[in-house]
Structure 1
Amino acid sequence: METPFQQVVVVDLASLGIGEAPEANRFNAVGADTLGHLTTGQELLNLTAFGQWGLGNLRDNNPVAGIAATDSPAGFFGRVHVAAPDWNAVSGIDELFQGSVNAWLNKQTSSGLAVHLISTDSIHQFAHPVINASNDQAALDTALNPATAVSQDIEAAGQGITYVLLTEGTQLALHSRVAEYRQWLQDIDTKLYQLSQQLLPNTLLIVTSTQAIDPSFGRLTREYVPLFCFINDQNTGRALGIRRTLADISATIEMNFHRQRTSQGHSFLVELTSR
C-alpha cells in the first residue's frame, strides 16, 4: 500500500491566532486577533511563506496590511476552530494529539515510526525525549534541514514524524511585546520559506498553532488558528476549509502511514494528494 509521504513535519507556532472564535465571549476574548493586531499602526507584515501558502485568502473578508489574497496559492490553507472546552497552555497540544501527546506518540513509535520532538522548552509535559534547540530558528534548522542528523535518522528509518514546538513567540506574546513578536513571526516565516524549499518531495510540512495569544491581551485568547500544508513538488494548493478540531492533523498523519485511526479528527489527506 502506497504511503504518500515518508516524512511528516509539524511546526507548532504556539501563539498565532487569526481572529476571534465564535465562543470568544466565554473566554473574555472578544475582539482578539493576534495577526490583525500586529498591524494596528503603519507597520506592514512581511510574511512571504505564509502569504504564498494562502494566509491572505484566510483574511479575505478582513485583510491584514501587507498580506494579499492569491489566486494561485503554493500551499494548502485553512483555519482550525479548536474544539477543547477549556483553553490553557496544554489543551491545544493534547487536542492535536487526540487527548494525550505522550500516548499518541508512543503508539506511533511502537508501530515502527521514527518520532522526534524538537523544542527550546525543556520543561514541557513530554515524556518522549525532546531534542533541545538553542532558539526557535535553530529548532527549524534541526527539523527541516536535510543535512541534520535528525532528518538523516528519519530517512534511515524510512518513515517518521517530527514535531517542532516553537516557544519564543509564546513568551513574547504573553509579555505583550508586540514589536518583538511581529519581528519573531517574520523571522520564522523567512526561515520556513528557506527550509521548505529544501524539503524532499516525499515530505509533508504542516504548520499550525496549538494556542493563540494576542499580545494586546497578554494572555491566551480564544481564536481560530491557522493551518498550512506545503509539499515541495506541488505547484498549487487549495483551501482546506474550517477544520473543527486540531485532531484532524493527527488523523491525517495516521491515514498517511496506514495506522489504526481513532474516532477523533477527520483526515484531510485526500485533499492533499488529489491532483
Structure 2
Amino acid sequence: MNFRRVIVLDLASLGVGEASDANRFESVGADTLGHIATLEGTDFQLPTLSRLGLGNIRYSDPVVGLPPVEEPIGFFGKIRSQSRENSQLSGLREMFDFQTPTRTTSVIDGIVGLLGVHSILISNYQSYLSNQNQAEVIPVNTDEGGLEQLHQQVIAPNNGLLYFRALGLSEHAQTGNRKGCIDSLKLVDQHLARLMRELYSTDLLIITSSYANDPAMDVTPTREYLPLIAYTSSLPEGKALGIRRTLADIGASIGEIFGLEVSNESIGSSFLGELK
C-alpha cells in the first residue's frame, strides 16, 4: 500500500479485558470496555467503532451493546504492552520509540527529516509528546477542541504522522465516572464517522489506546489488552489482525511506511503486510 499519512487516534484508558500478565499488576478481572458498557446495557452503542470492528475484537466474549458485525470495514485485533512498567506514558514510549543501528529514537521525530513529511501531535501536556523536538504540538484542553483540530489537520494535504490523544475518557476513568466515559466514547464515535469521510485514499487510520484504566477497579492504570483497529478507504473489507504482542508494532508499521531504518534489536513487527 502506498500510504502517505498515518493518523493515530489514541483512546487513552480504553482496555478490552485483562492482559495475560494482569496478575502482576493487580488487574485480574479488569475490563474497561465491558464494565463501561454494563452501565447502559443494550443502549450502549458506538455505531462507527462497531462498523470498524471494535465488537469483533471480543467475538468470543461479546461486550453488551457491541456484538460482532458480519462485515467489518476495519482490520481489528488487540495489542498489549510488553513494558515491565504500567503507566500512562510507558505505552507511548513503547508505541513510538525504536532502535536504529546507532541509537534509540522515536518514529515521531524520525520521520520529520524525510522530504515533505510532518509530525503533528494534538494533545494536552504530556512530557513524552512535548519532548519530541521535531514535531508540531497543538495543545488542547477538551476533546471537542481536539477533535475539531483533528478535522482541520486531516483535510489539509500534508504527509506524515498525525496523532490525537483523547482526553475525556482518561479524565473520567481516573475518577471512576463510567457515565462520563460513555459520553466521551460516544463523542469520539460521532466525530469518527465524519473523519472517515475526510480521509484521503493514501491515509491509514490507526485506532488504539496507549494504556487501560478500568473505572470499576481500584488500581490505576489497569493491565489490559488494548484495541487495535486499522482502516483505509482503499480497502473497504477488513479482517482480524489477531493478538499483537507489543505496542511497538504500531511504530514499526509507521516506520515501514516512511522507510525508517530500524535495527534488528527493535521489538516491534509491522502489520502492514496483513492489510490486504
TM-score by structure 2 length? 0.89
CA offsets per residue over residues 248-270 of structure 1, 9 Å max, x none?
Answer: 11111111122212422111111
Deviation per CA, 1:170-193: give whole Å up to 9, x if none: 111010011111111111111112
The match for 1:21 is 19
The residue aligned with 2:85 is 86
**Separation in structure 1 between the aligned mates of residue 181 and residue 227 of structure 2, nearest angstrom:** 17
Q: Percent identity?
A: 36
Contact 1:98–1:264, Cα closer than 8 Å, also in 2: no
SS at match of 1:213: coil
Distance 1:63 1:103 in 2: 36
**Separation in 2 of the partners of 1:139 and 1:95?**
23
In the aligned structure 2, how far is the partner of 1:114 from the partner of 1:227? 23
CA RMSD of aligned residues (A): 2.0
Does the CA-based 8 Å contact 1:74-1:237 persist in structure 2? yes
> Residues 81-112 of structure 1, C-alpha deviation per residue, up to 9 Å, x if partnerless?
21111101110000001269974322221233
> How many angstroms does 1:48 deviate by?
1.0
Read off the aligned partner of 1:6 and give its amino acid letter. Answer: R
Residue 129 of structure 2 corresponds to residue 130 of structure 1: no
1:216 to partner: Cα distance: 0.8
Q: Which runs of 5+ in 2 are unaligned?
A: none
Alignment partner, residue 252 of structure 1 = 253
* Rounded Cα–Cα distance in structure 2 between residues aligned with 1:251 and 1:222: 22
Given residue 23 of structure 1, which amino acid in structure 2 is its aligned partner? D
Residue of structure 1 equivalent to 2:163: 163
- TM alignment of 1:35-184, pairs within 5 A: 35-43=33-41, 44-98=43-97, 103-112=106-115, 113-119=117-123, 121-125=124-128, 126-128=130-132, 129-143=136-150, 145=151, 148=152, 151-152=155-156, 155-156=157-158, 159-184=159-184
How many residue pairs align between the two structures? 263
Aligned with 2:161: secondary structure? strand
Aligned residue identity for 1:206: I
- Distance change in 2, residues 1:124/1:136 (3 Å): farther
Q: 1:167 to 1:175 in 2, by over 3 A?
A: same
Query: How far is 1:199 from its partner?
Result: 0.8
Shift of 1:41: 4.1
User: 1:58/1:210 Cα in 2 relative to 1: closer, same or farther (>3 Å)?
Assistant: same
- Residue type of the partner of 1:137? E
Asked if structure 2 preserves the Cα contact closer than 8 Å seen for 1:122 and 1:130, the reply is no
Distance 2:81 2:267 in 1: 13
State whether residues 45 and 186 of structure 1, in contact with CA within 8 Å, keep that contact through their aligned partners in structure 2: no
1:185-200 paired onto structure 2 within 5 Å: 185-200=185-200
**SS of residue in 2 equivalent to 1:240:** strand
Structure 1 residue 55, shift from structure 2 partner: 1.5
Runs of 4+ in 1 over 6 A off after TM superposition: none
Distance of 1:39 and 1:10 partners within structure 2: 24
Structure-1 residue corresponding to 2:268:
265
- 5+ residue gaps in structure 1? none
CA contact (8 A) 1:73 1:238 kept: yes
Compare 220-229 and 165-174 and name the one that shifted more.
Answer: 165-174
